[in-house]
A = this chain, B = another copy of it.
Amino acid sequence: MADFSAPRGMRDFYPEDMVLRNRIFDSWRAAAVASGFEAYDSCVVESLELLKRKAGEEIVNQIYAFQDKGGREIALRAEMTPTLARMVAARQGSLRFPIKWFTIAQCFRYERMTRGRKREHYQLNLDIIGEEAVSGEAEVIYTAIAALRKMGVPDSAYRVHLSNRALLSELLLGLKIEEKFHQGAFIALDKKGKIPREEIEQILREEGLTDEACAAAFNLMEIRSLEEAEAIVGPDSPSIRRIRDLFELLDCYGIREQVVFDISVVRGLSYYTGIVFEAFDTQGAFRAIFGGGRYDNLLTTIGGKPTPAVGLGFGDVVIGEIIQALNLPDTRPQPENLFIGYMQEAQRKAATRLAASERAKGKHVTLQLHPQKPKAFFAAAGETATSAVFLGPDDVASGKARVKNMTTREETEIPLV
């Protein structure tokens, strides 16, 4: 028996699987376009050198890398951001900033196969490049939420947790922890709840923090409100001001209720510089739905000019799991689907002409490809058809056919062409 399965860790999408995937992809695309993001794309194959230059060591070990027949070191991308940075840097002199771009990119990571974890996934990337104003953060968060709404995910099902790395920096400075230790502290604090406290303390000590500074850094994670943070950094803190401005804009968008301040959101990736956020299901049962933030230094890391930027990544796997687990109904308008069948070869041409003419009017038509018995036809039509026409010799003789509405069972007459 031959092995007909997909390569290990890779997904096949049968038509029944595409229903959920299209629900996610179409909602992403519709929300991004409605917010004025422009589509871009590039090849899933990238130069290994580019991926290495940006990625952390952990990711480099998970990259699918190989040589092409010309001996070039290439790889399947693990994320879209290095490619975005490359494409923007290549045209930094001619693009009119700010640019708002989106893409749906397949990304690969070679990971141990645990709990059905896959080695590829798709990710919506929304990025606004060349804009300092906090409107950028607001617009990407709004657009991700607009996509969730289009998918039929209720506002009560998730919360966006939001913080500001600049605030954490101010807080660390308030504790007399020098700036050179902050990056290490961010990365360690991001692991809180994921690895034991002792291991995190170990990392922090290796980064140069004293035991006292370690304990203080840990205590920061206990801050529960903007007011508590403000009590430490003072009323003129620019990072608190920015968070408050952002919340005001989110209120204008009608999405204030779904976003909460959460000091523990740090984001592991080292390139974030300001506001950071992650969305989780309300019950806390799944991994993050989407995450992102401000990253003002990315272009310089690959040789471009300094450019303010904000973006987010939104994967297809977690939201798909949530939609299925919560059994959320698809609220998108469903297109009509007219089934056309026929009893004998003699009606094939009339059926074909009818299909062509209905399709030319913009209808979706599933034309049967061979004669059928009425019972077999209506059984097939019943599953997906919204209406159905079955032609027999009498219909062709009379030049008229009956269209049956598969929901109401009502019949209407149409002329044959």
Q: Which residues of A are interface residues toward B (Cβ below 8 A)?
A: 1-2, 4-8, 10-15, 18, 21-22, 33-36, 38-47, 64, 66-70, 72, 74, 76, 86-87, 89-91, 96, 98, 100-101, 106, 108, 110, 120, 128, 131-133, 135-136, 138-139, 142, 146, 248-249, 252-254, 302-304, 335, 337, 348-349, 352-353, 355-356, 359-360, 362-367, 369-370, 380
**A120:B36 contact, CB within 8 angstroms:** no
Taking CB atoms, residues of chain B closer than 8 Å to A252 are 349, 352-353, 356
Residue contact B87 to A44, C-beta cutoff 8 Å: no
Give chain B nearest CB distance to A85 CB in angstroms. 9
Q: Which of A21, A46, A254, A365 has the most CB of B within 10 A?
A: A254
Cα distance A42–B44 in the bound complex, in angstroms: 14
- How many copies of this chain does the complex contain? 2
Indicate if the CB atoms of A365 and B35 lie closer than 8 Å: yes
Q: How far is the CA of A326 from the CA of B252 in the complex (A)?
A: 47
Q: How far is the CB of A294 from chain B (nearest CB, A)?
A: 13
Q: Min CB distance, A15 to chain B, in Å? A: 4
Closest beta carbon of chain B to A6's beta carbon, Å: 6
User: In the complex, which residues of chain B have a beta carbon less than 8 angstroms from the beta carbon of A67?
Assistant: 66
Contact of A45 among B5, B13, B36, B76 (CB under 8 A): B76
Tell me which residues across on chain B come within 8 A of A74, comparing CB atoms.
Answer: 7
Known: A41-B13, A43-B11. A90 touches B367 (CB 8 A): no
- B22, B91, B135, B356: which contacts A352 (Cβ < 8 A)? B135
Q: Which one of A11, A40, A108 has the greatest number of beta carbons of chain B within 10 Å?
A: A40
Which of chain B's residues have a CB closer than 8 A to the CB of A7?
43, 45-47, 68, 72, 74
Which secondary structure dominates where chain A touches chain B?
mixed
Establish whether residues B14 and A87, one from each chain, have CB atoms under 8 Å apart when the complex forms: yes
Nearest-Cβ distance from residue A144 to partner chain B, whole angstroms? 13
Instruction: Let me know if B303 and A2 touch, CB within 8 A.
Output: yes
Chosen A-B contacts, 6 in total, with CB atoms closer than 8 Å, are A7-B46, A14-B40, A18-B40, A45-B76, A100-B366, A133-B370
**Which residue of chain B has the shortest Cβ distance to A118 in the bound complex?**
B43
Cβ contact within 8 Å between B370 and A86: no
**B residues near A39, Cβ cutoff 8 Å:** 13, 15, 18, 22
Taking A4-B304, A45-B120, A249-B352 as given, write out 19 further A-B residue pairs in contact, using a Cβ cutoff of 8 Å, ordered by the A residue number.
A2-B303, A2-B304, A4-B89, A5-B90, A6-B46, A13-B40, A13-B42, A14-B91, A35-B359, A36-B367, A43-B120, A66-B66, A100-B366, A132-B370, A133-B370, A135-B348, A248-B349, A249-B349, A252-B353
B36 touches A337 (CB 8 A): yes
Contact call A146/B254, Cβ cutoff below 8 A: no
Given contacts A10-B45, A44-B106, contact A253 B352 (CB under 8 A): yes
Q: Please indicate the chain B residues that have their CB under 8 angstroms from the CB of A41 in the complex.
A: 12-13, 18, 21
A36–B249 CB distance below 8 A = no
Closest Cβ of chain B to A244, distance in Å, is 13
Note all chain B residues with C-beta closer than 8 A to A136. 369
On chain B, the residues within 8 Å of A135 by CB distance are 348, 352, 367, 369-370
Instruction: State in angstroms the CA–CA spacing of A304 and B133 once bound together.
Output: 59
